[in-house]
Structure 1
Amino acid sequence: MATDLTTPVPAHPDVAPIQRRTLRLLLTTQIVGGIGVTIGIAVGALLAAEIAGTALAGLALSAAVVGGALLAVPVTRITNGHGRRPGLAFAYGVGTVGGTLIVLAAATRSIPLLFVGMLLFGGGSTANLQARYAAVDLAAPDRRARQLSLIVWATTIGAVAAPNFAALADRATRGWGLPALAGPFAFSAAAFVLAAGVLLLWLRPDPLLTARRLAAARSGDPGPAEAPPLPPGTDPAAPGPVSATGPASAPSPASATGPVSAPSPVVAAAEPVAAPAPPARRGAGMRAAWSVVRARPAARLGIAAVAMGHLVMVAVMTMAPVHLREYYAVEEVLPVVGLVLSLHIAGMYGLAPVVGWLADRSGRRPVILGGIGTLLAACAVTGTAGHHTLQLTVGLILLGLGWSATMVAGSTLLSESVPDPVRPSAQGLSDLVMGLAGALAGAVSGFVMQVAGYPVLSLLAAVAVAPLLALALRRAPVGAPDEKE
């Protein structure tokens, strides 16, 4: 088993309670933010059709997807400079502005305002996605995937509860004078404000800055101004100077360039370190992150797994309701679509902790390969389902499981395959690529569905997985330190 030598690993005894507190806060905000995001998805197309017409309804939702992807750039910049807490809060804040503009668009029936609002509303999705990376900043190496998967899993609660909140919010806001379908977006904006407030007030100490402080203490670097190094044996929340040649008995935090753990900095200096990555300054942007990712096979596989898994999932899932409409009357199709998509979402998020456990136990690459196989099986099942709703449902559940495997294992692999200075940028780059891949899949899938039908769409989605399969099967370099085999 190759050992990751490039990621700061908490050896300090007081890091564990900080990590537990961080996970609790992230779970809470994922549930609240997930409700806000899913409410928008549930009624967004209906509101867009009401204001702009059916032809533009799909484009309005695509605007939210593209907006969420593009927002990863400024969120990454903020995270690099100031930590996870302001980055996540900023993303939720942008989503709040978007939800407010959508309410105004509904009141004024303004199509341009609607599209701007949907573009900014994607900030909620950006925050929900970026939160999973905050879960691994201080995670132990053998628990990274599991703790990341818990944050992914928390979205299930919001996704299940959101449709009920949508109807409730719509009825409750009618008395405020808001037009139909505008109330859920007002509720979304309030949920985003609550999530941002919780993070700003209680996500302290910041997990990313704490991880950097631990790495700086090990290397003797004074570290970022916001987070001075830790003194041995003290709370990581309390900054203070640390000597690079401190006593051998003091617990030693891990470094971005050192081994996983060591009894003292003196011993650590004699141990092997990771192969040097391309030079990058702390807080480097996505261009520097891309140069690092290109030089690391495991990082490339991580980004590719997340992006391609998302592309296949979006392409096949978005056209499933249209496919079902071919076999059901208008009054019958909505309940069927609701049940089928609910089971699909359960496949996406419900077993995420199991996927995380497998990724920690068996390795990231085997789980990615399992996800690829599941995606291929899903495409085969959905493409041959025809009018058999049960078979289509099974295929969509498999599609969700394949997405979960590539998302959890790919995100974890990327996070531990790049050095500390560019880690947030590489994670932002991954979310940007994933979001654009999903937007492309959504746009192309409608055209393919209209021209060739659902079976051909499923076949093309399976073909799209082939490059990822080839990348995952490529043998890692001997002694590569940047992935857990």
Structure 2
Amino acid sequence: MVASGESEVGTPVIDDTERRRVQRRTLTVVVASQILGGAGLAAGITVGALLAKDMLGTDGLAGVPTALFTLGSALAAFLVGRITAGRGRRTGLALGFGAGGVGAIGVVVAAATDSVPLLLVSLFVYGAGTATNLQARYAGTDLAPAAGRGTAVSVAMVATTLGAVAGPNLVEPLGEWAVQLGLPALSGPFLLAAAAYLAAGTVLFALLRPDPYLLARRLESAEYTAVATDAAPPPGVGAYVGAAVMVLTQIAMVAIMTMTPVHMRAHGHGLGEIGLVIGVHVGAMYLPSLVTGVLVDKVGRLPMAAAAGVTLLLAGVTAAVAPADSLTLLIVALALLGLGWNFGLISGTALVVDATVPLNRPRTQGSIDVLIALAGAGGGALSGVVMSATDYATLALGGGVLALLLVPVLFRARR
């Protein structure tokens, strides 16, 4: 039995005031890292497919970059989850962002030397940054009260907006800078990604003290003194529902997003217009988070997850009917696509956190993010094949219809 007021290792248990102070500090550090991480992830989704098309010489393989860095993010999600369980959020997130930065450097070198094998390997490693950027959202929930978990996730996510929106809209100047350095224009955004990911990892490693996960685990051990084993209990049913929500929204979003730059370039749109559309899309993925988080906490997890499916369907229909030369409708479609993903990710994340405890949370979160990453990889790889065999409209409509599978999942969960 542990003495009242102490944890299982003799560390004094903090009071509610101190817990709130640590939570505020944690969110501040996470916000800083997410701003940088957002700039890093923007490179892959904006010019990854275009770079692959130029280097591989075919539209059918344009989805390969998304598939590769998403597969890399799957492995990274698994490893970051395991490292976090043993060493805490600080170490796991710092290593993940560091790997993403190394991968981005490799992409630049591959583009400069026209090395396809190096490009493929580097994109895989670059995916670690994407996974870590998503995993960082959980750091904001470790010490958050149950009724405020959706809001805590949203604070972490909305910070990503600044970097993620700026990144795509810097495609042209970054491309010009790369050319001045003697590099291919499309490698420019990956120079930004390398610096951003490495900086995000440094911020987390230096400032995320005390570690929110390790502190939450100690607090739980002190509160539930009857639990005297390291064996983690299984997650609740809500974790599986949350995983289904995030997986389906990821497939639909990635499939349509990946091929939009290729579709636009094939119909005469320049890099500036492509960057604008993707910038709006990424902004819609993250900027509404503060409102979404409140709605998830107040309206409920399942209603907001259902709203994700409906919004993604509207996005797919809009993209399918939009004329290829209509920049306005493409912006609307990609904004709806980002918004639907936002609804799904925040509601799904809250469901997972609700259904877990600190002892089993990192491994469960890591495993679920592996599924999300694999779903995105499948969506990215198949998107190029589907578009080559049919057209962009069919791909977009198919992605929207796929999102409707959320409805029966949520109906069963509610029952």
* Shared fold per TM-score greater than 0.5: yes
Distance 1:422 1:183, change over 3 A: same
Distance 1:120 1:466, change over 3 A: same
Which residue of 223, 229, 242 corresponds with 1:302?
A: 242
Q: Does 2:152 match 1:147?
A: yes
Secondary structure of 1:342's counterpart equals helix
Q: Which residue of 1 is the match for residue 274 of structure 2?
A: 337
Please report how far the alpha carbon of residue 436 of structure 1 lies from its aligned counterpart in structure 2 after TM superposition: 1.0
Q: Which residue of 2 is the match for residue 354 of structure 1?
A: 291
Residues 156-186 of structure 1: per-residue CA shift (max 9 Å, x gap): 1112222455555555566766665545434
Counterpart code for 1:349: Y
Residues 231-279 of structure 1: per-residue CA shift (max 9 Å, x gap): xxxxxxxxxxxxxxxxxxxxxxxxxxxxxxxxxxxxxxxxxxxxxxxx9
Distance 1:439 1:20, change over 3 A: same
Please report how far the alpha carbon of residue 307 of structure 1 lies from its aligned counterpart in structure 2 after TM superposition: 0.9
Counterpart code for 1:404: N
Q: Which residue of 2 is the match for residue 380 of structure 1?
A: 317
Distance 1:44 1:387, change over 3 A: closer
Residues 395-445 of structure 1: per-residue CA shift (max 9 Å, x gap): 322222111101111111111112322111111112111111111112222
CA contact (8 A) 1:96 1:188 kept: yes
Q: Does 2:133 match 1:128?
A: yes
Secondary structure of 2:322's counterpart equals coil
Query: What is the alpha-carbon distance in structure 2 between the residues aligned to residue 439 and residue 139 of structure 1?
Result: 31
Distance 1:144 1:41, change over 3 A: same
Which residue of 3, 27, 30 corresponds with 1:23?
A: 27
Which residue of 115, 124, 136 corresponds with 1:119?
A: 124
Distance 1:11 1:456, change over 3 A: farther
The Cα RMSD (Å) is: 2.8
Residues 139-166 of structure 1: per-residue CA shift (max 9 Å, x gap): 1122111110121111111122224555
Secondary structure of 1:127's counterpart equals helix
Query: What is the alpha-carbon distance in structure 2 between the residues aligned to residue 181 and residue 388 of structure 1?
Result: 23
In the TM superposition, 1:222-301 aligns within 5 A as 281-282=231-232, 292-293=234-235, 296-301=236-241
Query: What is the alpha-carbon distance in structure 2 between the residues aligned to residue 175 and residue 449 of structure 1?
Result: 34
Counterpart code for 1:142: A
Q: Does 2:367 match 1:432?
A: no
Distance 1:37 1:391, change over 3 A: closer
Secondary structure of 2:209's counterpart equals coil
Larger Rg: 1
Query: What is the alpha-carbon distance in structure 1 between the residues aligned to residue 170 and residue 213 of structure 2?
Result: 33
Which residue of 93, 96, 111 corresponds with 1:91?
A: 96
CA contact (8 A) 1:99 1:185 kept: yes
Identify, as 1 or 2, the structure richer in helix. Answer: 2
Distance 1:177 1:388, change over 3 A: closer
CA contact (8 A) 2:111 2:184 kept: yes
Query: What is the alpha-carbon distance in structure 1 between the residues aligned to residue 381 and residue 191 of structure 2?
Result: 28
Please report how far the alpha carbon of residue 68 of structure 1 lies from its aligned counterpart in structure 2 after TM superposition: 1.1
Distance 1:45 1:377, change over 3 A: closer
Query: What is the alpha-carbon distance in structure 2 between the residues aligned to residue 170 and residue 454 of structure 1?
Result: 26
Please report how far the alpha carbon of residue 70 of structure 1 lies from its aligned counterpart in structure 2 after TM superposition: 1.8
Q: Does 2:14 match 1:77?
A: no
Q: Does 2:255 match 1:315?
A: yes
Q: Which residue of 1 is the match for residue 335 of structure 2?
A: 397
Query: What is the alpha-carbon distance in structure 1 between the residues aligned to residue 305 and residue 78 of structure 2?
Result: 26
Q: Which moved more, 1:177-186 or 1:380-389?
A: 177-186
Distance 1:26 1:176, change over 3 A: same
Query: What is the alpha-carbon distance in structure 2 between the residues aligned to residue 335 and residue 173 of structure 1?
Result: 16
TM-score (norm 2): 0.87
CA contact (8 A) 1:280 1:422 kept: no
Secondary structure of 1:122's counterpart equals helix
CA contact (8 A) 2:49 2:64 kept: no
Q: Does 2:386 match 1:448?
A: yes
Structure 1 gaps, min length 5: 1-9, 224-278, 283-287, 478-485
Query: What is the alpha-carbon distance in structure 1 between the residues aligned to residue 413 and residue 370 of structure 2?
Result: 27
Counterpart code for 1:13: T
Query: What is the alpha-carbon distance in structure 2 between the residues aligned to residue 305 and residue 90 of structure 1?
Result: 28
Give the length in aligned residue pairs: 401
Which residue of 13, 31, 36 corresponds with 1:32?
A: 36
Query: What is the alpha-carbon distance in structure 1 between the residues aligned to residue 259 and residue 291 of structure 2?
Result: 28
Query: What is the alpha-carbon distance in structure 2 between the residues aligned to residue 310 and residue 163 of structure 1?
Result: 20
Counterpart code for 1:158: G
Structure 2 gaps, min length 5: 1-13
CA contact (8 A) 1:297 1:476 kept: no
Q: Which residue of 2 is the match for residue 191 of structure 1?
A: 196
Please report how far the alpha carbon of residue 51 of structure 1 lies from its aligned counterpart in structure 2 after TM superposition: 4.4
Distance 1:325 1:47, change over 3 A: closer
Q: Which moved more, 1:435-444 or 1:176-185?
A: 176-185
Please report how far the alpha carbon of residue 52 of structure 1 lies from its aligned counterpart in structure 2 after TM superposition: 4.3
Secondary structure of 1:204's counterpart equals coil
Distance 1:164 1:444, change over 3 A: closer
Query: What is the alpha-carbon distance in structure 2 between the residues aligned to residue 17 and residue 96 of structure 1?
Result: 31
Query: What is the alpha-carbon distance in structure 2 between the residues aligned to residue 348 and residue 421 of structure 1?
Result: 30
Secondary structure of 2:17's counterpart equals coil
CA contact (8 A) 2:167 2:189 kept: no
Counterpart code for 1:374: T
Distance 1:313 1:44, change over 3 A: closer
Which of structures 1 and 2 has the larger relative contact order (alpha carbons within 8 angstroms, sep 6+)? 2
Percent of matched pairs sharing the same residue: 41
Counterpart code for 1:76: G
Please report how far the alpha carbon of residue 455 of structure 1 lies from its aligned counterpart in structure 2 after TM superposition: 3.5
Query: What is the alpha-carbon distance in structure 1 between the residues aligned to residue 112 and residue 397 of structure 2?
Result: 43
Query: What is the alpha-carbon distance in structure 1 between the residues aligned to residue 317 and residue 396 of structure 2?
Result: 7
